[in-house]
Structure 1
Amino acid sequence: MGALRLTTAAVRGLFAIMPTPALDGSEDPAMTDTLDRAETRRAVDALIDDGVDAVMSTGTFGECATLTWPELRDFAEILVSAAAGRVPVLVGATTLNTRDTIARAKALRDLGVDGLLLGRPMWAQCDDDNLVAYYRAVAEAVPELGIVVYDNPEAFKGKISTAAYAALAEIPQVVAAKYPVFGPQFAADLAAVAGRMRLLPVDRDWCTAHALGPDDVVACWSGSAACGPLAHVELSRRILAGDLDGARAIAGELGAASAGFFPEGSFALFSRYNIQLEKIRIDAAGYIKAGPCRPPYVRCPPEYAAGARESARRFAELDARYRAASLGSRR
């Protein structure tokens, strides 16, 4: 057993989530190799050069469920090579069962990833005992890798319970959780993990969550950072520096840029089109060329797509403003 590559203490700052760039034509189910390798490498360099603290992918809009294993393996290899140790790299390995997930996790470990973004099998809902046993089995199989639990209540048929969080925090390799839906349960879950793992809110909720645990809520996740991360990087800098008034102002800007992205304001409805809407928004923002969605998650209602493009426009403007301010401060 080697040393743990990503520890709880190292989970700090902005964990940016990027898509898996796809070549033109990737919506065709007959296409066998959809990975845009050149754009993948360019995007990783751009995110790291712009100041993100970790790169994560192959969750939902990273298309873990629709990549072939050879595509996911090659993508992970490029992430690791491009990052070159500058920031931690976390890759999703979720499958429909524990044995396949472990096989993927071992291969990713051997490629050099630092950790896993790991959801639970989603064919049937896992109760607490099965959920914890699943994460423990993966942790024991790849003890070198830090695990970021993916707590998406729509994708995985329910929210992880507070009792399950307390048990997960006992597993040394479980270093964090991607916490997509901030709500009343967050405070209880934060108390249950007792600093043994990090709970990562989405960027725009970071200030509110941080107030509940200033010493523990020291990282966030962000999908919109793939639309240009300069505002998000500044949010992280200000929170970690203790400038909470400045951080709250930026969080408000991120929230405003996200307005209208969830169709009818519904996370459940958004989740039906998560991949399509995220990739539409990223492409429209212009920072990363996400490319087409892989089947079967290809189409979405045009009015939902319009909301994603409008959100992209706002994020692109926000990134440009913070980029200009950053350049001005260096002169």
Structure 2
Amino acid sequence: MFSGSIPALVTPFRDGTLDEAAFRRLIDWQIEHGSKGLVACGTTGEASTLSNAEHHRVIEICVEQAAGRVPVIAGCGSNDTQNALLHMRFSRKAGAAAGLCVAPYYNRPGQAGLIAHFSHLAENSDLPIILYNVPGRTVTDIEPETVCELATKYPHRIAGIKDASGDLSRVVDHRMGISKDFCQLSGDDELALPASAAGAVGCISVTANVAPALCCEFQQACADNDLVKARKLNDRLYPLHYAMFEDASPAPVKYALSRVHDWMTPQVRLPLVECSDAAKKAVDEALEHAGLV
């Protein structure tokens, strides 16, 4: 269903509120430079600081502006199952192609709780689900056996996974335990190359916010099994992947976008603040290394 370079879009702010004009320009720029899908209201989109009304408006704008040119994956995760279902039902009506559902954070459910949570979502909405495993943020790990059980039980609902566990062996675990239609997407830009070799078909990317064309070209080289080209592009992007996390994300990527486009601001919402001078220096050097400034 999904493949290639899929940016986890930032949510632009200006004077503390959603900058709709900048968001629409960002969407168009991403599509024009080859992005194969868009994620709205993911972690990079600062979903945790958006009200439900803002959250739904961001998804609505993204679907409207994309206008069917690429699929939109709507961030629907919550540590409250019913709120996640609310997001999924709205996103389905808005026209999203799938919902990105993170493992419930803070509550720290066990594997039985995760199965119950995702089963409830799968049984009460017909929006395809992309599981999102990022234990570094949620402190909850969707273990491979749980992923395989859910994907096997709900083959028409659990469509894939964005894996940001950092454990590359899981790509093979999932591939061996689930049908070939299950979509595996890397959640870590710096691991996208080895993940592709193991069987991933794309990346939900932070770096693609600021380097959509390069990330798309890199993912195409991976799909073509052109390792020489993929490695060359990966080397060009590699410092940028790490610079995006030199400070609390998404502050560095918003700063990077403000360097590339005068219609973007580096503003983030509390409790985040704009990135440090040291992070800005790392971003500046990585942008230069990639040939983006």
Moved more, 179-188 or 97-106: 179-188
Answer yes or no: is the 8 Å Cα contact 1:19–1:290 preserved in 2: no
Amino acid corresponding to residue 175 of structure 2 in structure 1: L
Per the alignment, residue 114 of structure 2 pairs with 131
**Aligned residue among 4, 17, 20 for 1:13:** 4
CA distance in 2, matches of 1:193, 1:115: 19
Q: Deviations over 1:183-204 (max 9, x none)?
A: 3432334333343422212344
Moved more, 186-195 or 225-234: 186-195
Task: For residue 260 of structure 1, report the CA deviation from its aligned partner.
Answer: 4.6
CA distance in 2, matches of 1:199, 1:189: 8
Per the alignment, residue 239 of structure 2 pairs with 256
Q: Deviations over 1:19-54 (max 9, x none)?
A: 01111x21xxxxxxx111111111111111111110
What SS does the corresponding residue of 2:185 show, helix, strand or coil? strand
Task: For residue 122 of structure 1, report the CA deviation from its aligned partner.
Answer: 1.2
Task: For residue 131 of structure 1, report the CA deviation from its aligned partner.
Answer: 0.8
Per the alignment, residue 195 of structure 1 pairs with 180
Residue 287 and residue 240 in structure 1: after superposition, are their counterparts in 2 closer, same or farther (change >3 A)? Answer: farther
CA distance in 1, matches of 2:128, 2:191: 24
Residue 19 and residue 184 in structure 1: after superposition, are their counterparts in 2 closer, same or farther (change >3 A)? Answer: closer
Please list every run of 5 or more consecutive structure 2 residues that lacks an aligned counterpart in the other structure: none
Task: For residue 305 of structure 1, report the CA deviation from its aligned partner.
Answer: 4.3
**Aligned residue among 283, 288, 298 for 2:258:** 283
Matched, 1:292 2:276: no
Aligned residues: 289
Per the alignment, residue 164 of structure 2 pairs with 180
Amino acid corresponding to residue 2 of structure 2 in structure 1: V
Residue 138 and residue 313 in structure 1: after superposition, are their counterparts in 2 closer, same or farther (change >3 A)? Answer: farther
Task: For residue 227 of structure 1, report the CA deviation from its aligned partner.
Answer: 0.6
Structure number with greater CO (CA < 8 Å, separation at least 6) is 1
Q: Deviations over 1:146-190 (max 9, x none)?
A: 211111112211332121121122222121211224334323343
Aligned-pair identity (%)? 25
Per the alignment, residue 30 of structure 1 pairs with none
Answer yes or no: is the 8 Å Cα contact 2:9–2:45 preserved in 1: yes
Matched, 1:212 2:198: yes
Task: For residue 283 of structure 1, report the CA deviation from its aligned partner.
Answer: 2.6
Amino acid corresponding to residue 255 of structure 2 in structure 1: I
Matched, 1:101 2:84: yes
CA distance in 1, matches of 2:76, 2:270: 19
CA distance in 2, matches of 1:223, 1:290: 17
CA distance in 1, matches of 2:120, 2:132: 16
Answer yes or no: is the 8 Å Cα contact 1:204–1:252 preserved in 2: no
Residue 304 and residue 179 in structure 1: after superposition, are their counterparts in 2 closer, same or farther (change >3 A)? Answer: same
Per the alignment, residue 152 of structure 1 pairs with 134
| TM-score, structure 2 as length reference | 0.89
CA distance in 1, matches of 2:275, 2:45: 17
| TM-score, structure 1 as length reference | 0.80
Matched, 1:115 2:98: yes
CA distance in 2, matches of 1:49, 1:203: 21
- Superposed counterparts of 1:157-172, under 5 Å: 157-170=139-152, 171-172=154-155
**Aligned residue among 13, 22, 26 for 2:13:** 22
CA distance in 2, matches of 1:248, 1:288: 32
CA distance in 2, matches of 1:286, 1:299: 17
Answer yes or no: is the 8 Å Cα contact 2:79–2:107 preserved in 1: no
Residue 17 and residue 262 in structure 1: after superposition, are their counterparts in 2 closer, same or farther (change >3 A)? Answer: closer
Please list every run of 5 or more consecutive structure 1 residues that lacks an aligned counterpart in the other structure: 1-9, 27-33, 264-269, 321-331
Task: For residue 309 of structure 1, report the CA deviation from its aligned partner.
Answer: 4.1
CA distance in 2, matches of 1:91, 1:125: 23
What SS does the corresponding residue of 2:13 show, helix, strand or coil? coil
What SS does the corresponding residue of 1:235 show, helix, strand or coil? helix
Per the alignment, residue 79 of structure 1 pairs with 62
Task: For residue 62 of structure 1, report the CA deviation from its aligned partner.
Answer: 0.3
Residue 260 and residue 139 in structure 1: after superposition, are their counterparts in 2 closer, same or farther (change >3 A)? Answer: same
Answer yes or no: is the 8 Å Cα contact 2:13–2:265 preserved in 1: yes
- Structure 1's consecutive aligned runs of 4 or more residues displaced over 6 angstroms after TM superposition are none
Amino acid corresponding to residue 206 of structure 1 in structure 2: A
CA distance in 1, matches of 2:260, 2:137: 25
Q: Deviations over 1:69-109 (max 9, x none)?
A: 11111111111111111110011122230111111211121
